[in-house]
Structure 1
Amino acid sequence: MSHISVLLHETVDALLADRNTGIYVDGTFGRGGHTRLLLSRLDENARVYAFDKDPQALTVAAALEQEDSRFKMIHASFADLQQQLNQLGVYAVDGIMADLGVSSPQLDQPERGFSFMHDGPLDMRMDNSQGQTAAQWLVDVDEEHLANVIFQYGEERYSRRIAKAIKQAGYIETTGRLAEIVKLAHPKWEKNKHAATRTFQAIRIEMNKELEDVHAFLPQAVDLLKSQARLAVISFHSLEDRIIKQFIQKESTLAEDHGWGMPQQREDTRRLKKVVRTRASDTEVKQNPRSRSAWLRVAERLESEDAA
């Protein structure tokens, strides 16, 4: 399956908010769908910077850089957003978007090792130019830590049983072999869902430090946003969405008064206001089933005087 950008127009429409110029950031370039639409909506003076860890994304981005001088690609995680942009002399931007999770090409290419739907080497690295493969990591990790990863990141109730089976199996070379081990160890799985789904998700998240990257990215994004600039983030599972929801909630809520009933002159520390939360339409889900679990959350940057 070729990559279909999820919530494409909804994200770009919300990000621009009727503007057609400025400096924008795509924190997760992927195959460039959101970036291309964004560029098509911006004037000749605009600038778009994109981030991605995946070397294959760089190939697509290199072609776009040749086509459009307004675009620049950065081979890095969006967890390094501020540092990377500051090095390029960028200290404030007009909008930032991110489409979290794994792209369709990553899932569909057996050699990337993300999916048990296609048997291939057990890799799972978004940046497969460096670091351990999942196969190597499973050899090195201790059983207790593996069980905790599967429980926390996969929300898998049989995590300890699965971790034990994985460690007893020794070196696991392929995705198909890992899926079979998990299936045999799993006493009961959800209808219409493979027994290994949660375990694969958990190992992928741990391997790529996905949730840590989101935690690092969000405050940096707000620091970079100009007044009335927007942050738009698409998530695909509850763990990611919870982080984004709680962050926006915290940044858009007036701090509680702990003055014990005494009048207090409180400083308003709110930096964001909520704009919209939406999900894929029935039409989009029918055309692209992978959009079914996607949520888009959008927030707008406030200045202190705006929040008062």
Structure 2
Amino acid sequence: MHDAVLLPEAVAAVLGVKSLPKTSSVQASGIYVDATFGRGGHSRLLLSQLSDDAKLIVFDKDPTAITVAQELAAKDSRVHVIHESFATLTTSLAALNITQVDGLMADLGISSPQIDDGSRGFSFMRDGVVDMRMDTSRGQSVGQWLEKVDDETLANVLYEFGEERHSRRIARAIKQMNRYESTLELAEVIKVAHPNWQRGKHPATQSFQAMRIFINNELGDVDSFLAQSIAILKAGGQLAVISFHSLEDRRIKQFLQRHSKGQYPEDEKLPMPPKRPRYFSKPKRVGPSKDETSQNPRARSAWLRMATRTDTIYHDNEK
């Protein structure tokens, strides 16, 4: 099972209300998107707050998650399932003749069922094939990639996507392995190669995170998803995104800050346009409560960032 993190907070945010009513339903109409269905925790609560004429479009890469989503769709005609990354947001919705939505939410990263299923290869605590693909129906596994990648590229991946300070030493040790068929064997090689690790934290944590993020293009998909949210959200529509590590959270924070202040990226080519657009309201951030973290320790690192899509406002470039 997967305990959806920041569940009522995220659903309230995507509906644009401060909190969900305790004894009734918001009965919101319109079109909403759950960009990371997982096991459907957020979707189910959101459906309970939607009117009968509302629509919920759910995305997921994971075939197992899609099976669960299709079971839900068979029981609730408001649900439409898309087996794709949320990076295909605009084109996938256009195929349904949807150009704008009222709310958009995403719960980034990996789910508990994916970690707990050793055969998926995400866990360094359970043995399995070195796979780590979110979508097992396409693309190469981490094991296949490790067979071909050189030391330097691997080290760069471990450093960039796992913030692993000992990336070069670990990369050399990994490349000395004869095969990449067991996650426990890979984790042990990383453990032996790691000169120092934080107490209470497995030495393979950051390396496994890095390889998973890389093989699934997770950060690239997040950037694409956020960029598409500008056009896909109606004025007054809500964006709510949950992240679990700094690489994701930093991207969301900077995106919302930039587009709520009317700023362009620092690398934007000059000359600057005469006006700067502002697309979102001032963003807000919410973390899990003490009760939630005590019941679900995996929620400890979660942050929910939210903002409202505004009518586009243009600012002069003069400071």
Same fold (TM over 0.5): yes
User: Unpaired runs of 5+ in structure 2?
Assistant: 18-25, 265-272
Is contact 1:205–1:211 with CA below 8 Å preserved after alignment?
yes
Does 2:296 match 1:296?
no
Q: So what's the TM-score if we normalise by structure 2?
A: 0.91
Is contact 2:241–2:305 with CA below 8 Å preserved after alignment?
yes
Is contact 2:106–2:240 with CA below 8 Å preserved after alignment?
yes
Alignment partners' CA distance in 1, 2:173 and 2:203: 14
Is contact 2:37–2:43 with CA below 8 Å preserved after alignment?
yes
Does 2:230 match 1:222?
yes
| Alignment match of 2:159 (pick from 148, 151, 160) | 151
Return the letter of the residue paired with 2:5.
Answer: V
Alignment partners' CA distance in 2, 1:74 and 1:286: 34
Does 2:141 match 1:133?
yes
The equivalent of 2:56 in structure 1 is 48
The equivalent of 2:212 in structure 1 is 204
List per-residue Cα deviations over 1:220-244 (Å, max 9, x = no partner). 0121000110100000000000000
Q: So what's the TM-score if we normalise by structure 1?
A: 0.94
Alignment partners' CA distance in 2, 1:15 and 1:90: 18
Return the letter of the residue paired with 1:16.
Answer: L
> How many residues are aligned here?
300
The equivalent of 2:21 in structure 1 is none
Is contact 1:22–1:47 with CA below 8 Å preserved after alignment?
yes
CA 1:299–1:171 in 2, change beyond 3 Å: closer, same or farther?
A: same
Is contact 1:29–1:35 with CA below 8 Å preserved after alignment?
yes
The equivalent of 1:180 in structure 2 is 188
| Alignment match of 1:161 (pick from 155, 169, 190) | 169
CA 1:306–1:45 in 2, change beyond 3 Å: closer, same or farther?
A: farther
Is contact 2:89–2:225 with CA below 8 Å preserved after alignment?
yes
Alignment partners' CA distance in 2, 1:245 and 1:12: 19
The equivalent of 1:9 in structure 2 is 8
Does 2:91 match 1:83?
yes
Alignment partners' CA distance in 2, 1:38 and 1:141: 43
User: Unpaired runs of 5+ in structure 1?
Assistant: 257-264
Alignment partners' CA distance in 1, 2:140 and 2:168: 23
List per-residue Cα deviations over 1:99-153 (Å, max 9, x = no partner). 0000100000011010111111111000011121111111111111100000011
State the shift of 1:276 in Å: 1.8
The equivalent of 1:37 in structure 2 is 45
CA 1:268–1:158 in 2, change beyond 3 Å: closer, same or farther?
A: closer
**Secondary structure, aligned partner of 2:261:** coil
The equivalent of 1:259 in structure 2 is none
CA 1:174–1:228 in 2, change beyond 3 Å: closer, same or farther?
A: same
Alignment partners' CA distance in 1, 2:41 and 2:282: 25
State the shift of 1:81 in Å: 0.3
The equivalent of 2:268 in structure 1 is none
Is contact 1:138–1:171 with CA below 8 Å preserved after alignment?
no
Alignment partners' CA distance in 1, 2:153 and 2:91: 31
State the shift of 1:304 in Å: 2.4
Alignment partners' CA distance in 1, 2:173 and 2:72: 46
Alignment partners' CA distance in 1, 2:240 and 2:263: 24
